[in-house]
Each structure stands twice: as structure tokens, then as C-alpha cells.
């Protein structure tokens, strides 16, 4: 008798018609064999994997994706609930029957002559009560190796699924990489992701945004938990107490840098558990517990250096466990090393840009693609928290919502209570980045940093969020942060990165009731004397600018929030509507 997994794989095989089917076992040797295969596979712009200098960059490989396939494509991403309203104004919707027709056609014979890799994987520690078993197929060696780094792949998951059919399914094919035939589709009610036509990032590494956020957020809605676009980190104080927090910031707005921060304050130390996704469950003790469903980093390369993120530099140069992949970075051809804008030192003499063309600074383009990334195992991190592998997760004392806002939003704000905190998250805005295709630098609303990732109607999501808070006897406090406030000349007011520990320290002080706060219409902000500025010289008036809340400047913000919330009207929770109305009254 075959299992549900075997039956599902046979179906996919009949559809995609690969020359070969290979079941991944997750062994160490297998990863290196897949790399070898990729190194001999030719694509338009070179082999799938190119070995870099292993003396200076142990276990590092370069991958170049297709030049039209360099970021998530939100306009080609669909949430296919049977009822359009359930997808909500926040999602592109397609009727599931129609979507399956299109995808079946594109998938028919799409793996002819190629190998179909079957990847059994777990999101979360296999022993965690909060983990989910998943199976995906792909025809890309790049995706297969990446999934091994990013998730827990192995035969053990198949044993778990022997008598079960409740696994999360994923079908992925690069197709012909033509953007006109590219679809990233989700069927939340069937726990199915079907993605054709892209080989890059969140479009193709299905465990990440597709499963761990879009499908999982819907499962969480049905089952009473939350799947969030959040960092998980521990902050150890001078007494040796560790406080765990989570932080949601939109794509390319600083999660990885925050999670790996080198503290600028003596006596304080940061430990990392995850840099992108967190699954939050209410524990038997009435607190919120977080696990990281992932096992690796898929981080933005440009801007990463010994100056900004030494811990990440150590992680990607260590390569003790698993290969480290670099995608769409530049190549220093004299040294056979990766390079990107913002890396320490001057640009090397001889560079190929991310597409493999000779590059000089005079060319005026970027050598590395702005959304170029590294893929590395989290266990290579020198600052992994001792609880990172605890199946139960860690208890969360504070939730942070952040955005990239050059104006208006203070460095840090504490919410008055859970409902107000949910509103802070719901009205989050951020200036757009290169992580998604489209125009960069315009403010868009990105509630909880989940706009592109919530697998159902966001109004239902906010109601669910409010309920989760009301169900906890010891809920975390909710804060908002903004590292990106700028002066009249557009220069950042706050140095950011390791200096952000000063803000985290204030947050922990508030959690412990150690300091008072100043009340403003937007929420509670620090009194400047309570922010620990040891070792950082900053004029008092500049510091005050960081915390300024002048409601007469907030009118356009309140207007934008209102028009953003408008399409949700019928389902919008009363608590959110009331908060928005209050903001409008205050900003008048
Ligand atoms: P995703 O992986 O797309 O979800 O992104 P992320 O949220 O993990 O963003 P990441 O930490 O990779 O940062 C993206 C960009 O923001 C980089 O170019 C960083 O240099 C910049 N950045 C991160 N933290 C700070 C900060 O505190 N201040 C300033 N000014 N820039 C920052
Ligand atoms: C993001 O865009 O938030 C990412 C990168 O973390 S991707 O995996 O492409 O979604
Ligand atoms: Mn992300």
C-alpha cells in the first residue's frame, strides 16, 4: 500500500513527465552531489553553480538567476480561495478551478528530460508540536540545494507522514522562465502551493514565503496561532537575563541586520534565533511562544560588511555546515570571490556584474543586483541562541513593528495596549525596496510587514490578531520602531545597526517597568534621559527630533490610513475602525 505522499508524487510525475525522479534523503553527501550536478548544468548566463575560492570563502558557490527573474513578483502571485472575499483586498485572487487549469497546462510535461527532485522537509524542529511536515517537488538543483540550507530536509519526515495525509504540498518548476508564463499560486484550503516560471527566492524556495507565511498564516487563522514576517532574538543584559522579542519589518528593511546585531552597549548581548519568519503560539502558561520554522538565512547581500554586520560576515565565511550560496552578486575574477556594493574595501580591479558582464564603477550601474542574496545555514552563526533548537520555542516579551519612514514616525513608540498595538501594526507604512519588483522608495501600507504574505483577508487577520491578544493572560507589549527617520537634507538621524540596542534596552526597561514614558497622541515615547547614550555622541536637539510627534503633520498619514482601510470595510474589526477614527480626530 502506498502512502498519501507517494500517491501525490506519482500524480505530479504523471503531470510533469520528468526523465527521472530523485527522492532527497537530506544527507550531507547528497548536498555536495547536487552541487556537482549544478556545476555541470549550463544555463543562459553560465552554470547553475560556480565554485568560488574555498580558501577565503569556504563552501561558497555563485548562482546567477535569469535577468528577468530577480525578486518576488507580487502581481503574478495569487491566493486562490474558492470565495474571492476570503482572499481580501490585500491579495490577487484567482478562482481555484481556473488557476488549476492554467497551472496544469503550464506544468504538462514541463520537466521532460529533467530530474524531478522530491523534497520531504519540515518547517520547524521535527519534535516541535508547532512544526509542519511538507513535501515539494522541483526541477531546479538550485532550489533543491537552497531548500536543504533553508529547511530541515530528510527521510525522517516521510516516516512521520506514513499514516498521514495532512502535509503541505508544493509543486515548483522553472518552466521556461518567461515572465508571461510565471505564476505563483496558493490554494490555502488544500495546503497547496503551485509555482511555475521562476527560479528565484520567495517565488521558488516554497518553504519560505509561500508555505511558512501564506499557507501557514491561513492554517494559523483556522487553528488559533500566528505565522509572522518576524525576527526572533534574545537580548542578554548585564545580569545574564535574556529577554526574547520578535520584530516585523517589511522586506529589505533591516530584519537580518537586527537579528544579528553586534551590541554597541557594553553589558548587552544579542542572540539570534531567526531573521525572517516566526510562528507564534499561545503556551499553556498564557504567554506567547515563538519558533523559527526555517533553518537558514536568505539575506540581502548589498550593505553587508564587517562594519554593518560582522556576525553575518562570519556566518557566510564560515561554511562549517552546508554550502553557502551567493545569488546575483558580482564576481571578483582575479580572486574568484563574491563582491557587492557596501562590502568592506574598494571595488576590485576586475569584476563581472551579476549578469556576468565586465563591470567598472564608471558604468554607473550596480555590480551586484540590489536584491542579490546569500543563502547560509543558521547553525553557522556565531551568535545562535542556546534555545534556538528548543522544540517549544522561546517566550516573547515584546513585539516590534517597524518600517522605513524618512518622515513622521518616531524612533520608537510603545502602544497603549494590545488593541492599540495591533492598530500600530495595521497602519504600518514603509518606503518600497528592491526586494519586490516595482518602483522603489514610495510609501506603501504594509500592515505587520505581511501585505504580500497574508494568505487570507487582512481584516480577518486583524480580528484574529486582536483575539490572540485577548486570549493571553501574559501578552507581550507591542512597540513600533523606525530606524530611517531623516533630517531636512535626507540624512538619517539615527546611526542604526548596532546602535539600535539602545532602543531595545529601552523596550526591555519598559517590559520590566523600570522606566516611565512620555505620552503623546501616537503612543508612549522615551524621555530622552531614559535612552542609554553611553558612548554615542548625539546633540540633544537631534535626539528630540527622533521622538517628535506633531499631530498637525499627521493629517496626510491619517488620510492614507483611512483610504487604505476603506476596501476592508465590511469585515474591519470595530477596534481597528475606532483607532483609525481617533487618529483622524487627533490629526485634524
Ligand atoms: P528581507 O530578507 O527582504 O526580508 O530583508 P530584511 O528585513 O532582513 O532586511 P536586511 O536586514 O537585509 O536590510 C536591508 C537593508 O536595510 C540593507 O541595505 C541594510 O544595510 C539596511 N539596514 C538594516 N538595518 C539598518 C539600520 O538600522 N539603519 C539603516 N539606516 N539601514 C539599515
Ligand atoms: C523578502 O522579500 O521578504 C525575503 C526574500 O525574505 S524572498 O525569499 O524572496 O521572499
Ligand atoms: Mn523577508
> 447-493, pLDDT tens digit by residue?
999 999 999 999 999 999 999 999 999 999 999 999 999 998 989 99
Does residue 427 have a pLDDT over 80?
yes
CA separation for the pair 212, 328 (Å, rounded): 24
From first CA to last CA, the distance across the chain in angstroms is 69
| Atom number of ligand 1 nearest to Cα 435 | 3
3-state secondary structure of 295: coil
Reported as a pLDDT band with limits 50, 70 and 90, residue 343 is: very high
Domains, the chain, ordered by start: 4-45+63-223 (3.40.449.10), 228-294+387-586 (3.90.228.20), 296-380 (2.170.8.10)
**Averaged pLDDT score across all residues of the chain:** 96
| Residue 245 · residue 237 · CB < 8 Å | no
Tell me the mean pLDDT in the region 107-123.
Answer: 97
Tell me the mean pLDDT in the region 416-438.
Answer: 93
Per-residue pLDDT of 205-263, as tens digits, reads 999 999 999 999 999 999 999 999 999 999 999 999 999 999 999 999 999 999 999 99
| Atom number of ligand 1 nearest to Cα 499 | 27
Does residue 102 have a pLDDT over 70?
yes
Could you tell me the distance, in angstroms and rounded to a whole number, from the CA of residue 117 to the centre of ligand 2? 23
| Residue 479 · residue 399 · CB < 8 Å | yes
Reported as a pLDDT band with limits 50, 70 and 90, residue 163 is: confident
Reported as a pLDDT band with limits 50, 70 and 90, residue 526 is: very high
Q: How confident is the model at residue 1, as a pLDDT?
A: 59
| Residue 65 · residue 328 · CB < 8 Å | yes
Task: Kindly state the helix (H) or strand (E) to which residue 271 belongs, with its residue range.
Answer: strand 269-274
Interior angle at CA 116, CA 8 and CA 217, nearest 5 = 55
CB atoms within 10 A of CB 302: 21
| Atom number of ligand 2 nearest to Cα 229 | 3
CA separation for the pair 443, 306 (Å, rounded): 30
Per-residue pLDDT of 183-216, as tens digits, reads 999 999 999 999 999 999 999 999 999 999 999 9
Give, for ligand 1, the residue of 70, 74, 212, 256 to mutate: max count of ligand atoms closer than 8 Å to Cβ.
256
CA separation for the pair 81, 78 (Å, rounded): 9
Nearest to 557 by CA among 411, 399, 430: 430
The C-alpha cell of 66 is what?
A: 535569469
Does residue 555 have a pLDDT over 80?
yes
Closest C-alpha to ligand 2, atom 10 = 202
Give, for ligand 1, the residue of 146, 232, 254 to mutate: max count of ligand atoms closer than 8 Å to Cβ.
254
| Residue 136 · residue 207 · CB < 8 Å | yes
Q: Which residue has the cell 540596542?
A: 501
Closest C-alpha to ligand 2, atom 8 = 202
Closest C-alpha to ligand 1, atom 14 = 252
Give, for ligand 2, the residue of 202, 228, 302 to mutate: max count of ligand atoms closer than 8 Å to Cβ.
202
Closest C-alpha to ligand 1, atom 17 = 303
DSSP β-ladder status, 168-173 and 192-196? parallel
Q: How confident is the model at residue 298, as a pLDDT?
A: 98
DSSP summary character for residue 384? B
- The one catalytic residue in 110, 134, 210, 253 is 253
Pocket of ligand 2 (CB under 6 A): 72, 201-202, 208-209, 251, 276, 298, 435
CB atoms within 10 A of CB 202: 26
Q: pTM to 2 decimals? A: 0.97
80 is catalytic: no
Tell me the mean pLDDT in the region 297-323.
Answer: 93
Cα separation values, 180 from 15, 159, 175, 274, 336, Å: 21, 39, 11, 34, 35
CA dihedral sign of residues 324, 328, 334, 340: negative
Q: How confident is the model at residue 239, as a pLDDT?
A: 94
Q: How confident is the model at residue 70, as a pLDDT?
A: 96
Q: Any idea of the CA torsion for 430, 222, 278, 532, to the nearest 10 degrees?
A: 60
Q: Which residue has the cell 540590489?
A: 370
Does residue 396 have a pLDDT over 70?
yes
| Rg of the chain (C-alpha set) | 23
Q: How confident is the model at residue 103, as a pLDDT?
A: 98
CA separation for the pair 75, 218 (Å, rounded): 20
Reported as a pLDDT band with limits 50, 70 and 90, residue 363 is: confident
231 alpha carbon, closest ligand = 1
Does residue 45 have a pLDDT over 80?
no
CA separation for the pair 476, 246 (Å, rounded): 10
Length reported for the chain: 588
Pocket of ligand 1 (CB under 6 A): 249, 251-257, 275-276, 299-300, 302-303, 308, 435, 483-484, 492, 496-497, 500
Could you tell me the distance, in angstroms and rounded to a whole number, from the CA of residue 268 to the centre of ligand 3? 26
Amino acid at each position: 500500500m502506498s502512502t498519501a505522499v507517494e500517491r501525490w508524487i506519482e500524480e505530479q510525475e504523471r503531470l510533469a513527465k520528468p526523465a527521472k525522479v530523485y527522492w532527497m534523503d537530506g544527507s550531507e553527501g547528497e548536498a555536495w552531489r547536487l552541487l556537482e550536478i549544478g556545476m555541470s548544468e549550463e544555463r543562459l548566463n553560465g552554470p547553475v553553480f560556480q565554485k568560488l575560492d574555498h580558501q577565503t570563502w569556504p563552501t561558497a558557490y555563485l548562482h546567477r538567476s535569469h535577468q528577468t527573474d530577480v525578486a518576488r513578483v507580487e502581481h503574478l502571485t495569487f491566493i486562490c480561495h474558492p470565495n474571492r472575499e476570503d482572499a481580501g483586498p490585500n491579495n490577487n485572487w484567482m478562482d481555484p478551478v481556473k488557476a488549476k487549469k492554467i497551472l496544469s497546462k503550464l506544468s504538462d510535461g514541463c520537466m521532460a528530460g529533467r530530474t524531478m527532485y522530491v523534497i520531504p522537509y519540515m518547517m520547524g524542529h521535527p519534535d516541535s508540536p508547532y512544526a509542519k511536515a511538507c513535501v515539494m517537488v522541483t526541477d531546479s538543483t538550485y532550489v533543491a540545494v537552497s531548500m536543504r540550507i533553508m529547511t530541515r530536509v530528510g527521510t525522517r519526515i516521510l516516516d512521520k507522514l506514513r499514516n498521514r495525509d495532512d502535509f503541505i504540498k508544493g509543486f515548483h518548476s522553472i518552466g521556461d522562465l518567461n515572465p508571461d508564463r510565471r505564476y505563483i499560486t496558493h490554494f490555502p484550503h488544500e495546503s497547496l502551493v503551485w509555482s511555475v516560471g521562476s527560479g528565484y527566492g520567495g517565488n521558488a524556495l516554497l518553504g519560505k514565503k509561500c508555505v511558512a507565511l501564506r499557507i501557514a498564516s491561513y492554517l494559523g487563522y483556522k487553528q488559533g496561532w500566528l505565522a509572522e514576517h518576524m525576527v526572533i532574538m534574545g537580548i542578554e543584559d548585564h545580569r545574564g537575563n535574556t529577554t526574547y522579542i520578535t520584530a516585523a519589518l517589511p522586506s529589505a528593511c533591516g530584519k537580518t541586520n537586527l537579528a544579528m546585531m553586534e551590541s554597541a552597549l557594553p553589558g548587552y548581548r544579542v542572540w539570534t534565533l531567526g531573521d525572517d519568519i516566526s510562528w507564534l503560539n499561545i503556551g499553556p502558561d498564557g504567554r506567547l511562544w515563538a519558533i523559527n520554522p526555517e533553518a537558514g538565512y536568505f539575506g540581502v547581500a548589498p550593505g553587508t560588511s564587517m562594519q554593518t554586520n560582522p556576525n553575518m560576515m562570519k556566518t557566510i565565511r564560515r561554511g562549517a555546515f552546508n554550502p553557502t550560496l551567493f545569488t546575483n552578486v558580482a564576481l571578483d575574477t582575479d580572486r574568484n570571490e563574491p563582491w557587492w556594493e557596501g562590502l568592506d574595501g574598494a571595488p576590485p580591479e576586475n569584476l563581472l556584474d551579476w549578469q556576468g558582464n565586465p563591470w567598472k564603477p564608471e558604468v554607473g550601474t550596480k555590480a551586484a543586483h540590489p536584491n542579490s542574496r546569500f543563502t547560509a545555514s543558521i547553525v553557522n552563526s556565531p551568535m545562535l541562541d542556546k534555545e534556538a533548537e528548543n522544540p517549544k520555542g522561546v517566550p516573547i516579551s515584546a513585539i516590534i513593528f517597524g518600517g522605513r519612514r524618512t518622515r513622521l514616525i518616531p524612533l520608537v513608540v510603545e502602544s497603549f495596549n494590545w488593541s492599540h498595538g495591533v492598530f500600530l501594526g495595521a497602519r504600518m507604512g514603509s518606503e518600497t525596496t528592491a526586494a519586490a519588483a516595482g518602483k522603489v522608495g514610495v510609501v506603501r501600507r504594509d500592515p505587520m510587514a505581511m501585505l504580500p504574505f497574508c494568505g487570507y483577508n487582512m481584516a480577518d487577520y486583524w480580528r484574529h490578531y486582536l483575539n490572540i491578544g485577548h486570549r493571553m493572560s501574559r501578552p507581550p507589549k507591542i512597540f513600533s520602531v523606525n530606524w530611517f527617520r531623516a533630517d531636512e537634507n535626507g540624512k538619517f538621524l539615527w546611526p542604526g545597526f548596532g546602535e539600535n540596542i539602545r532602543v531595545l534596552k529601552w523596550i526591555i526597561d519598559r517590559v520590566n517597568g523600570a522606566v516611565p514614558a512620555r505620552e503623546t497622541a501616537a503612543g508612549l515615547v522615551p524621555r530622552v534621559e531614559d535612552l542609554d547614550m553611553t558612548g554615542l555622541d548625539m546633540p540633544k536637539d537631534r535626539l528630540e527630533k527622533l521622538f517628535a510627534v506633531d499631530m498637525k503633520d499627521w493629517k496626510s498619514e491619517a488620510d492614507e490610513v483611512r483610504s487604505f482601510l476603506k476596501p476592508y470595510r465590511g469585515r474591519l474589526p470595530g477596534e481597528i475602525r475606532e483607532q483609525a477614527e481617533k487618529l483622524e480626530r487627533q490629526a485634524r
